[in-house]
Each structure stands twice: as C-alpha cells, then as structure tokens.
Amino acid sequence: MNYFEHMKLRLAGGENYVPHRLGRKSEVTQLANLIGVKTPKRYAVANIEDVLSSDLPDEFVLKPLFASTSIGVNILRRTEDRFIDLMSGDQLTRDLLIEQARSISLRFLDDERKGEYIAEELLRDHEGAFPPPDIRAYTFQGEIGMILKEHHLTAPARAMYFDGDFLPFHDVHNRYGVARGMEKLESIEEAVTPENWQNILRVAKRVSTSVPSAFCRVDMYDAQGGIYLGEITLLPGTFYYQNRKLMSQSEAERLGRMWTRAKTRLEGTAETWK
C-alpha cells in the first residue's frame, strides 16, 4: 500500500488502534510533559468570549481548536481597550474578534456559538521574528520519511522539503509540487537545513515512538528556548486531497513502504526480525 492508500484506510476507520484522542490539545500536552518535550504555554481554553475575558499576557496567539491550518489564527498584542494584530497591524476590538470567531464556528461547526478557542504563548524564532516556521515531520514509529518546513502565514506560503536526515532533496520537484492554479498560494523554495536540525530530529523521533500509531505527523517549532511540539496530526489532509500541495506517486510508494514497516514493528510480528 502506498501513502495515499494507507491514509484512505485510516480516514475510513479501517485502521485499528489509531489514538485519535491525541488530536486534542490537552492530550498532546500531557504526552509532551510525560516524555520531556516542550509545548507552548496555554493561557486559556474556552469559548471565544471567556478566552478574551481571561487574564492574558500582553502578547499571545489566539486560534480555534477546530479549524485547519492558519484559519482564524491571530497574533495579538493587548492595549488598554483593544488588540493589535501583530501580522497586519490592524486594531481589533473585542467585539470584532468575537464576530470573526463566530463566523469561523459557523463555517466549520454550523453553529456560531460552538467551538473552543485557545490563547497560548507567542513563540519567536532565533532572530526574534514571529511566528517561527512550521516544521512537520512525517514519522513512522521512529523513522522519518520527510520533513516539511513552511512559512505558512506568508503569501504565497513558502515550503522547504527535506529527507529523514534533514538533508534537502536534490530532486524535490520530482517528488513534490503545487496544484495547478495554486501558484499564488504555494511555493517551493531551495531548502536550507536549520542549524538546530539534530535537536529537531531528536524531538520528532521521541514523539513518534511515544505515539502508538504506525504513522503520525509531528508538528514542531524551532524557537527561542528550544524545540516545541505544536500538534500530533494523525489525519493530515495535506497531499491526500491534492488541492494545494502535491506528492508524486513514487514518493507515495516510498512513504507507504515506511508506513507498512512501522505497522509491522508496532504489531510485533515476526517480520520485525527479518
């Protein structure tokens, strides 16, 4: 089975023992604490009104727990009577943030009153810029098949692709691409291995082997203070839906073989010892 076939089976509920509970932020934090991995500080988790009424620091990240990618994410600085969006410079009132949040809830949950938001620590990269790029490791029980490093809040989003040893793919355009018509939203850049690559790999492998699943995507940030775990993604739509980022068939076969080997190791069958 290739990567897409494995993912189709998982999405259909045909794969046993997938720990879907790790899709919840609280579960990820508990696991990270258990294995000694950092996560951003959480200041409040509640409906949007209660989050904005909480005792928040001067700067924080506000995001929905139910939406995907960067939808609904605001990087904010509090002033006396409003908030400043640190990415756009826009000044936002509390009422406007609530109105935006309700619109997103209506879009994803069909109910503007549903859906939790989280206010969490604003991380900065080693130069002091924010937010740090997303680093997403596609992991298979301690093996890393591919690493995607992406600045996803820029236009277009800027992606770099690396192998499991954090080396740039010399033939990246044969492996990964951008869907037709999405060129204004997505771009592939020449990959440059970060200086902290060894620590990133250590965290990715530690998380991967701690998750009882043949495959998970480990989402991290390389920030001041260390490597932070953002999320553990068990059902990534990236590549599978082929609507923005593309993966070649040969790459899907390669990652699919890693998935199959990891499944065998996890099950403890005789194949493990061959």
- Co-location of 20 and 146 in the same domain: yes
Tens digit of each residue's pLDDT (9 = 90 or more) over 225-243:
999 999 999 999 999 999 9
Residues 205 and 233 in one domain: yes
Q: How many domains does the chain have?
A: 2
Q: Are residues 233 and 209 in the same domain?
A: yes
Q: Are residues 177 and 236 in the same domain?
A: yes
Q: Identify whether residues 137 and 24 lie together within a single domain.
A: yes
Query: Same domain for 144 and 258?
Result: yes
For residue 217, is pLDDT > 80? Answer: yes
Lowest mean pLDDT among 1-10, 24-33, 256-265: 24-33
35 with 46, same domain: the answer is no
CA–CA distance, 119 with 117 (Å, rounded to integer): 7
Average pLDDT, the chain: 92
Average pLDDT of the segment spanning 171-186: 96
Q: Given 94, 120, 146, which residue is the final one in a domain?
A: 120
The verdict on 174 and 233 lying in the same domain is yes
Mark which of 120, 144, 165 sits at the end of a domain: 120
Which residue is associated with the tokens 């954090």? 166
Identify the pLDDT of residue 274: 38
Pair 76, 152 in one domain: no
Query: For the residues of the chain, what is the DSSP string, one character each?
Result: --HHHHHHHHHTT-STT--GGGGSHHHHHHHHHHHT-B-PPEEEEE-HHHHHTS---SEEEEEESSS-TTTT-EEEEE-SSSEEETTT--EE-HHHHHHHHHHHHHHHHS-TT---EEEE-----TTS-SSPPEEEEEEETTEEEEEEEEETTSSSEEEEEE-TTSPBPTTHHHHEEE-TT-TTTEEE------TTHHHHHHHHHHHHHHSSSS-EEEEEEEETTEEEEEEEESS--TTTS-SSEEE-HHHHHHHHHHHHHHHHHHHT-GGGG-
| Model pTM score | 0.90
Which range marks the domain in which residue 26 is found? 3-39+127-273
Is a pLDDT exceeding 80 seen at residue 67?
no
The enclosing domain of 175 has a CATH number of 3.30.470.20
Q: What is the pLDDT of residues 104-140, one digit of tens each?
A: 998 888 888 888 999 999 999 999 988 899 999 999 9
Same domain membership, residue 147 and residue 244: yes
Asked if residue 47 and residue 26 are part of one domain, the reply reads no
Domain of 81, CATH number, reads 3.30.1490
Q: What is the percent of the chain with per-residue pLDDT over 90, rounded to a whole number?
A: 82
Residues 264, 203 within the same domain = yes
Please identify, among 103, 120, 137, the residue that sits at the C-terminal boundary of a domain.
120
